Amino acid sequence: MFKKASDSEEEGSLVTTRKFAGLFIDYRATVTDELPKVEVIWIKTSMESKYGKICAQSKTCEFSKGDRLYLTKKFFSPGMVGGRWEYYIENDASVVYQLTEYQSDKKVLTETWF
């Protein structure tokens, strides 16, 4: 599924994959132990047995109980050469959080979900 990038997003970004991650149940906020300290949220969904608690960068979470959540990946290419993948969790109401690179609940890199 493709999603048109908004005008505020970098030119050259494109969502290439959107996967259902379950229905939102709840979350908890914390700060990482490692330096630099990063504020993260641990998101619990109805598909916790598959994904574990999903870790994203934020202080709070604006998802509502029962929201359908999706994992997405975007390729950012700021110039002519190179680029990078970034991973997100979002709902249908345009609430989006960037995922951390490593999902410590399941001990996997986020990229392995795609």
Q: Is residue 22 part of a domain?
A: yes
Number of domains comprising the chain: 1
Give the largest Cα separation in the chain, rounded: 42
Cβ atoms 59, 39 nearer than 8 A: yes
User: Which amino acid, residue 76?
Assistant: F
pLDDT at 1 over 80: no
| pLDDT given for residue 14 in this prediction | 58
Reported as a single tens digit per residue, the pLDDT across 15-46 is 568 899 999 999 999 998 777 888 999 999 99
Q: Is residue 114 part of a domain?
A: no
Q: Is residue 9 part of a domain?
A: no
Q: Is residue 112 part of a domain?
A: no
- Which domain, by its residues, includes 36? 14-106
Reported as a single tens digit per residue, the pLDDT across 46-90 is 999 999 999 999 999 999 999 999 999 988 877 777 788 899 999
Residue ranges of alpha helices (H) inside the chain are 48-51
Q: Is residue 72 part of a domain?
A: yes
| pLDDT given for residue 2 in this prediction | 31
